[in-house]
Amino acid sequence: MAYKILADVCTSCGACEGECPNKAISHKGKLFKIDAKKCKECVGSFPTSQCVEVCQAGAVVKLEEAA
């Protein structure tokens, strides 16, 4: 499973991008996105997904929750 950034909730603060150990988060302008192929949910690096931990807006959700 991977995560997704909800564009309508994201404040474009950029906090998540630097926290990702797999460099799965990128942005184009103010739109941030997570590459599902690169996202490993921080398994092996951290006990919890760091993008979720640092997102103050609550914009980062599991792909299954975004549907």
Domain at 46, CATH number: 3.30.70.20
Q: Which residues constitute the domain of residue 24? A: 3-66
Tell the residue number behind the tokens 């906090």, with chain if given: 15
Instruction: Give, for all 67 residues of the chain, the pLDDT tens digit.
Output: 689 999 999 999 999 999 999 999 999 999 999 999 999 999 999 999 999 999 999 999 998 776 6
Q: Tell me the C-alpha distance between 33 and 25, whole Å.
A: 6
pLDDT for res 66:
65
Own/partner long-range contacts of 24-33 (Cβ < 8 Å, ≥24 apart):
25/51, 31/7, 32/5, 33/4, 33/5
pLDDT for res 19:
96
Domain count, the chain: 1
Which tokens go with 5? 């950034």
pTM summary value: 0.88
